[in-house]
A and B are shown apart, each in its own frame.
Chain A
Amino acid sequence: MASVASKLYADDVSLVMVLLDTNPLFWSSSSLPFSNFLSHVLSFLNSILLLNQFNQVVVIASGYNSCDYIYDSSLATNQGSDSGKMPALCSNLLQKLEEFVIRDEQLRKEVSGDGLPSSMLSGSLSMALCYIQKVFRSGPLHPQPRILCLQGSPDGPEQYVAIMNAIFSAQRSMVPIDSCYIGSNNSAFLQQASYITGGVYLKPQQLEGLFQYLSTVFATDLQSRSFLQLPKSVGVDFRASCFCHKKTIDMGYVCSVCLSIFCKHHKKCSTCGSVFGQAQSDASTASNRKRKTSET
C-alpha cells in the first residue's frame, strides 16, 4: 500500500490551484476576449492533467463580488454534459463558471470611482491556501501544490493586508505563487507574491499566444523547475498600501509596534492601538515640508 502511495505521489506530481479572474468589468475592456482566454486556459489545464495521471487541478474563480471553487479534477466524473464537442473537463468547468457568474452578479455592490475595479484576489488566494492546507493534512504523501494566478484586473489596494497575509502564509507553507498577469501595467501584488514565495511572475506580451506562455513557463512541476531557466522579472514594485486609506504609497509612516503602514501621521495606531508621540513628528513633518518647498 505504501509503495503504491509513494508511486502515486512522486515528486513530480503537482496540485495546481488556478485562480481565474472573472471580473466582468475587466473582461469587457480587455483586448483579449474572455472566450479566447478561456480556450487557452482550458487547453492548458487539460495539458497539465495529461502530463501526469496523478496531477490534480483545482480552479477557483475570483469574481467581482465573490469567489468560489469551480472545478476540482479529483472530484470530476468523466461524463460530460454535452456529447463529444469538448472534453468533460471543459464542459463541467464552463457549467460551474456560468453558475458562478450568475451568483456573483446577484451579490451586487456599487462600482466605486473611476478606473477598473479589482477582483477578489485575496479571497481566492485564501481559498487556495485553505485547500492546500487540507491536502497537507490529509497525510504524509500528497502532490506538490502550487498556485497559479491568472489575473487581469488591476490591484485593489484595499485588499493589501489580506493579500500580503496570504502571501506570507504561502511562503510559510512553501507554496510558490506563480502569476500570469494579462492586464495593462504590472501588478505589484502579484510581483511581490511571486517574488516572496519563489514563484514566477510573467506578463505576456503576445496575448494571442497565451497558451504557449502558460505551457512553456507554468506547466512544469516544481521538481523539474529547478533544472529550467524560467523568466525572471527584472524589478519588483515593493510599494505598500497604507492601512488607513488603502492607497499605494511610496513613503509613509510605520507603526513601530505592529509595523502597520499609514500615509498620514496618526495619533494612535488603528491596528494595535499604540499611541504615538506628537511633538517630534510635528517637527519632522514641518521640516520635511519646508525642505520640499525649498527644493522646487
Chain B
Amino acid sequence: MSSGQVIRRAKYKTSVKDAGTPGVLKMNENKLVFRPNDPTSKTKLDVEFRQIKGHKNTKEGSNKPPWLNLTHDQGGSYIFEFESFSDLHVCREFVGNALAKCGEAAKAAPVEKVSSASKAACEQSAVPFSDEQLSTTEMELRMKLLRENSELQKLHKQFVIGGVLTESEFWATRKKLLDGDNDRKLKQRVGFKNSMILDTKPTTDGRTNKVTFNLTPEIKYQIFVLKPAVHQAFLNMVPSKMTEKDFWTKYFRAEYLHSTRNAVAAAAEAAEDEELAIFLKDDDILAREARRKIRRVDPTLDMEADQGDDYTHLPDHGIFRDGSKDISESQQELYRRTLSQDLNRQGAVVLEGRSVDADLEDPRTVAEALVRSRPETDATQEKLNRILRMTEIEDLRASHGHPFAPLCIKDPRDYFEAQQANALKSLDDTRAGTEQMKCSLTTEEAFSSLRKTISKIKTVGLNNPIVRPEVALMVFNGLTQNISSNKYQLGKNPQESILDRLPNATREELLHHWMSIQELLRHFWSSYPITTTYLNTKVSRLKDAMSQIYRQLEEIKESMQSDIRHQVSLLVRPMHQALDAAFQHYDADLHKKSARTGETPNGYV
C-alpha cells in the first residue's frame, strides 16, 4: 500500500439494489474520490472523510459480494463493491483510520477553540497513520480510552498530533491499558448445545397418524456434527438425488423407528430402502473411529473380558431412557444404539466446541463448512489439542499476564509533598553547614579552658538577664513560623497541600506539565541505548519537546507573584532536575558517539 493513499477498482452503488457504476475509488487521508470508467457518467464522487459518519462491510464467507458501505452524516450512504475481499479489507482499514483521525481532530478542536487547527492536525498526523494497519476495533478501543480519560487525551493531542510521538509509540507504553480493556470484553464463544439432539421428540396431534418433527437450523447443525454419517449422506445426496425436505423426512422416519424400538420393522424398512438404511445402520464413520480408539488402548487390557463384564444385558439391569429400559438385545445388535454411545458422542462434540461460525440458515453451506473445518490429516491430534484448550475455562482462568512491570509513577501530589520537605531540609542543612569550625586546641588546653569557664561562672554567677527581650522575640517568631509552616507541609490532608494554595490555572498547568514530562521521559529513557537511526531521531524529537517544556516551566515560575514564587520554584525544581538529567544523558551520549565515530563526525546527527 502506498503511503497515505489507496486506489482500488470498485463499483459505486447508490443503493443495495443498484447494479453499480464501475470505476476507480481513490482515497487519501482527507477524502475519497470516485471516478467512473465511463467519463460521460455523472456518478462522480468527491467526499471528505469529515462528512462520513461510519462504515459497514459485508463479511467474507457470506454469499454477499464484497461491499463497503459508508454512512454519510446527512443520512445517505455510499456503497462500493470491490473485486475481491482483500481489496475490501485494505479499503476498510484505511477508512477506519481516516475516520478515527478526523473524529479525534474534531474532538480536540473545541478544547483548543481553534477550528482551523483541527484540519491542520488531521493532515499532519496523517503520515504516522499510514504506516500502521490497525483493526477497527482497536482503533475504537483507543478512541474510547481517549474519550474516557481527559488527561490521556490531552497528552495524545499534545504529543501525537503535535508530531513529537507517533501513534504507535504513544500506545506502546500503554499496552496494559489496551489489554485491560480487552480483558473486560467477554471472550466466551457460543458453545455447542448440551441438550441431546437425539432427544428431539416427535409431536403427534393425536387424531391422525401423522408425526411432526420440529427442525431448526441449529438442530440441523447439531445433527451434522453429532452424526458424521448423516452429514456425509447429506453431502452425497441432497442436491443430486433428493430434495432437502425428503432427506430430513427420511432421516426422521428412521429416528422414529428407533424410538418405537421396533427393531424388526426397522430392519425390514432398511431392506426396502437403501437410503433409509444409512440412518438405521451404525454410523460407519463413528465406528471406524471407535475401532481406532480401541487400537490405541493399552494392549495389556483385555477388551473382550471387559465387554463380558457389561451387565446391561441382564434382566432388570439397564438404563432408563424414554420411559423404558434400554436393554440391549443381542440379536438386533446392528440396529441398536446404546445410550452410552450417544452420550459419549454428545460429550465429545460438546467439548470439541463450535467450529463453524457461518450462517446456519442454509444447511448446504453448513454442511460444506463443516467439511472444511474437519481436516482429514492429523485430525485426532488437532482434536486433542482443541479439547485441551477448551477445557481450560476462559472466565475461570487468570488473564494472560504479560511479563512486564508497568513503570510505577505515583500521584504527582505525593511526590511534590515529599520533595518539598526534602528541599526545605537541604536548605536548612546548607545554612547550618557553613558554620562548621575546626578544633584547633589540644585536649589539655580544651580541658583547662573548660575548667576555667566553670570556675568563672562560679565566681561571676549567672547572666543577668539570661535572655535579652529582643532575642526572645526572635526565638518566638522563629518557632511560630516553623510550626505554622510545618503544618501544611506535613499535612497528609490533600486540602492542605501546597498545590491547592496556587491559583487553579497554575495548578492545572503544573500538573499537566508534570504529566507531559513523565510521558516524554518515559519515551526518552526507553529509547536508550540508541541502536537505530529511528531511535536517534525519536530521541532528538523528544529532546526538543522537553526543552520546550523546560522553558515553559521557567515562564510559569517567573509569572508567579512574589509570595508563591518560592513555592512554585520548589515544585518546579524536581521537574527541572529530571529534565536536566535527561539532557545530560543525551549530551553525554552524543559526545561518546561522536568520539567513537571520530573519523566521520558527520555520520550521525
Report yes or no: B472 in contact with A209, Cβ–Cβ below 8 A. Answer: yes
A25 touches B451 (CB 8 A): no
Do B451 and A102 have beta carbons less than 8 Å apart?
yes
Query: Is B454 interfacial (CB 8 A cutoff)?
Result: yes
CB nearest neighbor in B for A294 = B529
- Of A27, A105, A212, A235, the contact of B475 (CB 8 Å cutoff): A212
Known interface pairs A31-B435, A212-B475, A213-B479; A234-B424 also in contact (CB < 8 Å): yes
**Is B449 part of the binding interface, using a Cβ–Cβ cutoff of 8 Å?**
yes
Tell me the smallest distance from the CB of B151 to a CB of chain A, in Å.
Answer: 31
Query: Contact between B475 and A28 (Cβ–Cβ < 8 Å)?
Result: no
Partner of B471, one of A26, A85, A212: A212
A residues less than 8 Å from B474 (CB atoms):
206, 209
A211 to B453 alpha-carbon distance, docked (Å): 19
B440 within 8 A of A: yes
Tell me which of A2-10, A37-45, A165-173, A249-257 binds B. Answer: A37-45
Instruction: Known pairs A98-B458, A114-B438, A206-B474; list 12 more (Cβ under 8 Å).
Output: A28-B449, A36-B463, A40-B463, A98-B455, A184-B432, A186-B429, A209-B467, A212-B476, A216-B479, A231-B479, A234-B425, A234-B486
CB distance A101 to B450 under 8 Å?
Answer: yes
Q: Does the CB pair A29–B443 fall under 8 Å?
A: no
Interface centre among B432, B440, B444 (most CB of A within 10 A): B432
Chain B CB within 8 A of A94 CB: yes
Minimum C-beta distance from B440 to chain A (A): 7
A246 contacts the other chain (Cβ, under 8 Å)? no
Q: Which residues of B contact A131 (CB under 8 A)?
A: none
0/1 string, B142-168, CB within 8 A of A gives 1: 000000000000000000000000000
Please tell me if the beta carbons of B463 and A206 are within 8 angstroms of each other in the complex: no
Q: With A and B bound together, what is the CA distance between A231 and B437 in angstroms?
A: 27
By a CB distance below 8 angstroms, the chain A residues around B449 are 24, 27-28
A12-41 vs B, CB cutoff 8 Å, 1 = contact: the mask equals: 000000000010111111110111101110
Of all chain A residues, the one with the shortest Cβ separation from B455 is A98
Contact in complex: B483, A230 (CB < 8 Å): yes
**Contact at B450–A22, with CB atoms within 8 Å?**
yes
| Cα A28 to Cα B442 with chains together (Å) | 10
Q: Is the pair B453, A105 in contact by a Cβ cutoff of 8 Å?
A: no
Decide: B476 and A216 in contact? CB cutoff 8 A: yes
Instruction: Report the minimal beta-carbon distance from A29 to chain B, rounded to whole angstroms.
Output: 5
Q: Does A229 contact B (CB under 8 A)?
A: yes
* Central interface residue in A35, A111, A114, A116, by most chain B CB within 10 Å: A35
Q: Taking the complex as formed, is A137 at the interface, i.e. its CB lies under 8 A from any CB of chain B?
A: no
Measured between alpha carbons, how far is A234 from B488 in the docked complex, in Å? 11
Contact A101-B451, Cβ < 8 Å, known A85-B461, A186-B432, A231-B479: yes
The yes or no answer to A134 lying at the interface (CB within 8 A) is no
**Cross-chain contact of A40 among B441, B454, B460, B466 (Cβ < 8 A):** B466
Render A80-96 as a binary contact track against B, CB cut-off 8 A, 1 for contact.
00100110001100110
Whether A33 lies near B453 (C-beta < 8 A) is: yes
Q: Which residues of A contact B479 (CB under 8 A)?
A: 213, 216-217, 231
Min CB distance B595 to A, Å, is 15
**Taking the complex as formed, is A115 at the interface, i.e. its CB lies under 8 A from any CB of chain B?**
yes
B490 sits at the interface (CB 8 A): yes
A29–B438 touching, CB < 8 Å: yes
Given the interface pairs A35-B453, A98-B454, A212-B472, the reply to whether A235 lies near B435 with Cβ below 8 Å is: no
User: Is A97 positioned at the interface, with any CB of B under 8 Å from its CB?
Assistant: yes
Residues of B within 8 A of A292 (CB): none
Q: Which A residues touch B438, using CB under 8 A?
A: 29, 114-115
The chain A residue sitting closest to B425, CB to CB, is: A235
Which residues of B approach A to under 8 Å, CB–CB? 421-422, 424-425, 428-429, 432-433, 435-447, 449-451, 453-458, 460-463, 466-468, 471-472, 474-476, 478-479, 482-483, 486-487, 489-490
Residues of A within 8 A of B466 (CB): 39-40, 43, 211
Q: Hey, which chain B residues are within 8 Å of A185, CB to CB?
A: 429, 432-433, 436
* A174-216 at interface with B (beta carbon < 8 Å): 184-186, 203-206, 208-213, 216
- Chain A residues whose C-beta falls within 8 Å of the C-beta of B457 in the assembled complex: 35, 38-39, 94
- Let me know if A160 is at the binding interface, CB within 8 A: no
Complex Cα gap A95–B458 (Å) = 8
Residue of A nearest to B485 (CB): A234
Alpha-carbon distance A64/B447, docked complex (angstroms)? 10
**Contact B432 A203, beta carbon cutoff 8 Å:** yes
CA distance A24 to B439 in the complex (A): 10
Bin the interface of chain A by size: 35 or more
The reply to whether B458 and A213 form a contact with Cβ atoms under 8 Å apart is no
Q: A108 and B471: CB pair below 8 A? A: no
Nearest residue (CB) in B for A95 is B458
Contacts of A290 in B (CB 8 A): none
Q: List 17 A-B contacts (CB under 8 A).
A: A22-B450, A24-B446, A24-B450, A28-B441, A35-B456, A35-B457, A86-B462, A117-B439, A184-B435, A185-B432, A186-B428, A206-B478, A209-B471, A212-B476, A216-B476, A232-B486, A234-B421
Contacts of A105 in B (CB 8 A): 443-444, 447
| A-side contacts of B460, CB under 8 Å | 35
CA–CA, A186 and B421, complex, Å: 15
Closest beta carbon of chain B to A65's beta carbon, Å: 10
B425 with A206: CB separation less than 8 A: no
Assess the A212–B467 pair: CB atoms within 8 A. yes
Alpha-carbon distance A102/B454, docked complex (angstroms): 11
A60–chain B nearest beta-carbon distance, Å: 16
Per the bound structure, the CA–CA distance linking A115 and B456 in Å amounts to 28
Given contacts A116-B439, A184-B437, whether A28 and B476 have CB atoms under 8 Å apart is no
B residues less than 8 Å from A98 (CB atoms): 451, 454-455, 458
Contacts of A22 in B (CB 8 A): 450
Q: Which residue of B lies closest to A228 (CB)?
A: B483
On whether the beta carbons of B446 and A27 are closer than 8 Å, the reply is yes
The 8 closest A-B pairs by CB, nearest first: A24-B446, A209-B475, A235-B425, A209-B471, A212-B475, A24-B450, A39-B462, A105-B447
**A203 CB to closest chain B CB, in angstroms?**
7
Q: A86 CA to B464 CA in the complex, in Å?
A: 11
CA A216 – CA B482 in complex, angstroms? Answer: 13
Complexed CA–CA distance, A227 and B451 (Å): 41
CA A246 to CA B110, docked complex, whole Å: 64
Cα separation A230 to B479 with both chains bound (whole Å)? 9
